[in-house]
């Protein structure tokens, strides 16, 4: 590995001078700066940011813990977040919890060992007591995203999943549907999805409409799972007028199964998703979905970080608006 001393030797200066040049501090002549930069480029020197942060207590790392990078809504959030933080020379380190409390605990410990400037963590997970203790003990500025119903951390940005369930129920009730189903996966782990489902069912039941629930704890929340579970629904002989899916990906898989089985959508069955990630992939079939803008969510988090006072976050809560995006599937 190329070291600071190697760069100093080639540039014929002290290691302290190299350190100041690369950090942009101190009164160093332009000629010396040029020699240092040229030496660093020639040797392929890469600064050890972690070592620097431990010695100066000023980390340039933002740790992000999300359920899965494969979930499009989180990809939207991180893309927006990275675009703004990169301009401030802040780097993002991403880890996945897979919505497992034990994995989340291990990942939180690993991320905190890097001494990040900020920790961004997705809500909706039944965190262990040790995870909660770690977050309190290390006192790293903590931002929670995606869960607007149970705000934690100094900053919380996310939608209300209870309101999302109510919005879905209001739409189906407005269409006069009497036989409906909810199709989801991993709802025992995903507290946010459970809140959506329970809120949807409560409002439908209050209106005298029974909801058939088809869920599978071990399937991922992807299109293939939507296909499998919708096939189970049809093979079980259930006759429904509308299906509310856990997310857009599962709804797209469900649509494929319904259309392949000869059902007309929306004439025979209405289909609705959640999170709006299908919008940009739409050609003819426009899925009706309840969406929140992942890019704007990422921008709000970045703004809180960039406006922090020497790393100290101001207490802030933003409830992200939800939109019923009417497509041609309802």
Q: What is the pLDDT of residue 51?
A: 59
CB 38 within 8 A of CB 12: no
Q: Where in the chain is the domain with CATH 3.40.50.2300?
A: 58-159+294-321, 161-291
Q: What is the mean pLDDT of residues 82-110?
A: 94
Residue 111 pLDDT grade (very low, low, confident, very high; cuts 50, 70, 90): very high
pLDDT for residue 329 is more than 90: yes
Residue 260 phi/psi, 5-degree rounding, is -65, -25
Q: Report the Cα–Cα distance between both ends of the chain, in Å, rounded.
A: 60
Tokens of 209: 């409409």
Query: For the chain, what is the radius of gyration of the CA atoms?
Result: 25
Q: What is the mean pLDDT of residues 56-71?
A: 86
Residue 52 pLDDT grade (very low, low, confident, very high; cuts 50, 70, 90): low
CB 143 within 8 A of CB 120: yes
Percentage of the chain modeled with pLDDT above 90? 81
CB 21 within 8 A of CB 36: yes
Closest Cα to residue 3, out of 53, 48, 54, 57? 48
pLDDT for residue 21 is more than 60: yes
Which single residue is written with the structure tokens 């970080």?
305
Cis amide leading into 23 (omega within 30): no
* pLDDT tens sequence across 296-315: 999 999 999 999 988 889 99
Q: What is the pLDDT of residue 50?
A: 57
Q: Are strands 155-158 and 118-122 parallel, antiparallel or unpaired?
A: unpaired
Closest Cα to residue 190, out of 167, 224, 210, 161? 161
In this structure, CATH architecture of domain 58-159+294-321: 3-Layer(aba) Sandwich (3.40)
DSSP assignment, residue 330?
-
Class in CATH terms, 161-291: alpha beta
Residue 183 phi/psi, 5-degree rounding, is -120, 125
For residue 230, give the H/E element and its range: helix 223-235
pLDDT for residue 54 is more than 80: no
Q: What is the pLDDT of residue 58?
A: 67
Per-residue H/E/C for 239-280: CCCEEEECCHHHHHHHHHHHHHCCCCCCCCCEEEEEECCCHH
Which single residue is written with the structure tokens 């996966």?
185
pLDDT for residue 56 is more than 60: no
Q: What is the mean pLDDT of the chain?
A: 93
Q: Where in the chain is the domain with CATH 1.10.260.40?
A: 4-47
Quick one: fold of 4-47? Answer: 434 Repressor (Amino-terminal Domain) (1.10.260)
Q: What is the pLDDT of residue 316?
A: 93
Residues facing residue 229 across a β-bridge: none
At 98 the three-state DSSP class reads coil
């Amino acid at each position: 590995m190329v070291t600071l001393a190697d760069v100093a030797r080639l540039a014929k200066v002290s290691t302290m001078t190299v350190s100041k040049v690369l950090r942009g501090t101190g009164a160093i002549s332009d000629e010396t700066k040029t020699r240092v930069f040229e030496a660093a480029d020639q040797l392929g020197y890469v600064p050890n940011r972690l070592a620097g942060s431990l010695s100066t207590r000023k980390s340039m790392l933002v740790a992000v813990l999300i359920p899965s990078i494969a979930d499009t809504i989180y990809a939207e959030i991180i893309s927006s977040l990275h675009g703004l933080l990169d301009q401030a020379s802040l780097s993002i380190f991403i880890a996945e919890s897979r919505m497992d409390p034990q994995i989340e605990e291990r990942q939180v410990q690993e991320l905190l060992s890097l001494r990040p400037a900020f920790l961004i963590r997705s809500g909706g997970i039944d965190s262990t007591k040790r995870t909660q203790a770690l977050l309190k003990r290390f006192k790293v500025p903590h931002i929670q995203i995606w869960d607007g119903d149970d705000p934690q951390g100094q900053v919380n940005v996310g939608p209300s999943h209870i309101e999302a369930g109510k919005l879905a129920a209001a739409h189906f009730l407005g269409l006069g549907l009497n036989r409906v189903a909810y199709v989801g996966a991993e709802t025992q782990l995903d507290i946010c999805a459970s809140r959506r489902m329970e809120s949807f069912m409560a409002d439908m039941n209050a209106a005298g409409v029974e909801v058939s629930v088809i869920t599978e704890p071990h399937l991922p929340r992807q299109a293939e799972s939507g296909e499998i579970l919708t096939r189970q629904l049809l093979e079980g002989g259930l006759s429904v007028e509308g299906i509310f899916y856990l997310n857009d990906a599962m709804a797209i898989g469900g649509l494929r199964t319904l259309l392949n089985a000869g059902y007309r959508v929306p004439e025979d069955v209405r289909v609705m998703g959640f999170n709006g990630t299908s919008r940009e992939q739409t050609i003819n079939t426009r899925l009706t979905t309840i969406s929140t803008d992942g890019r704007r969510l990422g921008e709000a988090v970045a703004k809180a970080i960039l406006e922090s006072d020497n790393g100290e976050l101001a207490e802030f809560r933003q409830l992200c608006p939800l939109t019923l995006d009417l497509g041609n599937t309802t």
